[in-house]
Amino acid sequence: MKVAKFGGSSLASGEQIKKVFEIVTADPERKFVVVSAPGKRNSDDIKVTDLLIEAAKQQLRGDNGEPLIEDVVARYGNIAKELDISEEVITAIRENLQALLHADQSEPKRYLDALKASGEDNNAKLIAAYFQRCGVEAQYINPNKAGLIVSDEDGFTQVLPESYDRLYNLHDVPGIVVFPGFFGYTLDGDVLTFSRSGSDITGSILANGVKADLYENFTDVDAVYAVNPNVVPNPKGIRELTYREMRELSYAGFSVFHDEALIPAFRAGIPVHIQNTNNPAAQGTRIVSTRDNTNGPVIGIASDKGFCSIYVSKYLMNREVGFGRKLLHILEDYGVAYEHIPSGIDDVTLILRQDQMKGDSEKKIITRIMQELHADEVIVEHNLALIMVVGEGMRHNVGTTARASKALADAKVNIEMINQGSSEVSMMFGVKEHSEEMAIQALYHEFF
């Protein structure tokens, strides 16, 4: 039995949904179908999720979100027309969106999440209606009814473990299950969304819950490529990579698969197969526990912008008991999470996502580090890109770091920081954002 998840690009129009129907019905093993909200039809288009977020924000600040909601209804209306689905489905979608738009706003985050989640929820209803119209037994299933329970205790949405056993009961549903991605329900019955692109996470949770043999993730590319195809044209496709490699690469910028979506499938030992809705005959990319390391040290190179570093130096830092704890405590006081901490004898660098530094919090953090920790020097660097060079083969190959540094030096890219941290399958380079693309291209040409 397989779980097949289709992303927004695979569901952006009626024509796309017809392809999805063909794919699902071509294999009787595809019983569980997870869907995103309609995505972009072309590069200038707006995703339904973004329209819903903007409508909710307008309403929350006292403006009128109605016109944007009508845009959303029109998107579904066009799809319904292409698929020849009855007007009743669109009337129900309009009523649902109107009710959500005018719902209680006393908890703005809950209000926003409910509107955001409606993108996938209404799409799942519409797609189930299309399958039925085509004479295929299919049902929309609500995540609350199915028992996908989540919490946001640590500030982000996480599935509760009891969900998995409950989801197993979906085997009792006759025919194809059409399940909306991107959200679950709290024990109190409130909607909570995962982070952006989180339908991948739902697919993985469902695969674990129903004990699927395979989690198929359908998107709009023939494979996961060794680098972002928007940075290097026609890059090499990856046939197979391990969960660890994919986790590192998706964390570091491979937006093709959500970095939180691997753990549920990994824990249940379920392989993930990334495929192209527009070209299902392509081989795609399989994510598995182990693979042959015959392709050289590096499997992929990912990068992401928007980081800053705080460099702290103090003579004899290594002897000072509690220095690290006090430093991190200061960050905690400002609600700031760190990404990496490369360190030396007398110095340490904290790498953070810089959008966390709201208002004058950066200034206050620096002042406290100087005053409370008596640091000799504190230097903040903004606008850094982190480049992650990933490959299980790096453990067995000597000189990979040297090759990478030389490639960057030859391309005249200044390395701000290197971290080969505890992960044995990746190394990270910090460079200025304006050098990011050049660095990726230089590294790609060195290793592929």
Ligand X SMILES: N[C@@H](CC(=O)OP(=O)(O)O)C(=O)O
Ligand Y SMILES: Nc1ncnc2c1ncn2[C@@H]1O[C@H](COP(=O)(O)OP(=O)(O)O)[C@@H](O)[C@H]1O
Quote the least distance from Cβ 310 to ligand X, whole Å: 30
- Looking at beta carbons only, is 18 or 196 nearer to ligand X? 196
Helix (H) or strand (E) holding 217: strand 214-219
Q: What φ, ψ does residue 78 adopt, rounded to 5°?
A: -65, -40
In the complex, the smallest distance separating the C-beta of residue 423 from ligand X, rounded to whole angstroms, is 26
Tell me which of 13, 36, 419, 426 binds ligand X, using CB under 6 A: 36
Residue 277 interacts with ligand X (CB under 6 A): yes or no: no
Asked if 203 touches ligand X (CB under 6 A), the answer is no
Within 298-337, which residues bind ligand X (CB under 6 A)?
none
Site map 49..88 versus ligand X, x via CB under 6 A: x---------------------------------------
Told to check if 18 binds ligand X by CB under 6 A, we report no
Task: Tell how strand 347-353 and strand 300-313 pair up.
Answer: antiparallel
Residue 143 found at the interface with ligand X (CB under 6 A)? no
Residues 182-201 that bind ligand X (CB under 6 A): 182, 196-200
Exposed (0-12), middle (13-18) or buried (19+): which is 117, by Cβ within 10 Å?
buried
Stretch that binds ligand X, among 17-25, 34-42, 354-362, 437-445 (CB under 6 A): 34-42
**Can you read off the two tokens belonging to residue 232?**
């290097």
H or E element in which residue 431 lies: strand 426-432
Beta pairing class for 240-242 and 224-225: unpaired
Residues annotated as binding site for ATP?
5-8, 219-220, 225
* C-alpha distances in Å from residue 305, one per residue of 209, 404, 434: 35, 19, 10
Kindly state the tokens that stand for 236.
């090499």
Question: Does 16 engage in binding with ligand X (CB under 6 A)?
Answer: no
Whole-number Å distance between alpha carbons of 227 and 238: 10
Q: Is 114 in the site for ligand X (CB under 6 A)?
A: no
Q: Does 118 bind ligand X (CB under 6 A)?
A: no
**Contact status: 264 vs ligand X (CB under 6 A):** no
CB of 161 to ligand X, least distance (A): 22
Say if residues 184 and 159 touch (Cβ distance below 8 Å): yes
Residues that bind ligand Y (CB under 6 A): 7-10, 36, 39, 197, 219-221, 224-225, 227-230, 254-256
Q: Min. distance of Cβ 325 from ligand Y in angstroms? A: 37
Binding-site residues, in ranges, read 5-8, 49, 120, 219-220, 225
Give me the helices (H) in 393-435, please: 400-410
What DSSP string runs through 312-323?
Answer: EE-TTGGG-TTH
Q: How far is the CB of 238 from ligand Y (least distance, A)?
A: 8
187: phi then psi, degrees, rounded to nearest 5: -60, -25
Q: Which is nearer to ligand Y, 111 or 225 (CB)?
A: 225
In this structure, the number of other CB atoms found within 10 A of the CB of residue 345 comes to: 11
256 binds, among ligand Y, ligand X, none (CB under 5 to 8 A by kind): ligand Y
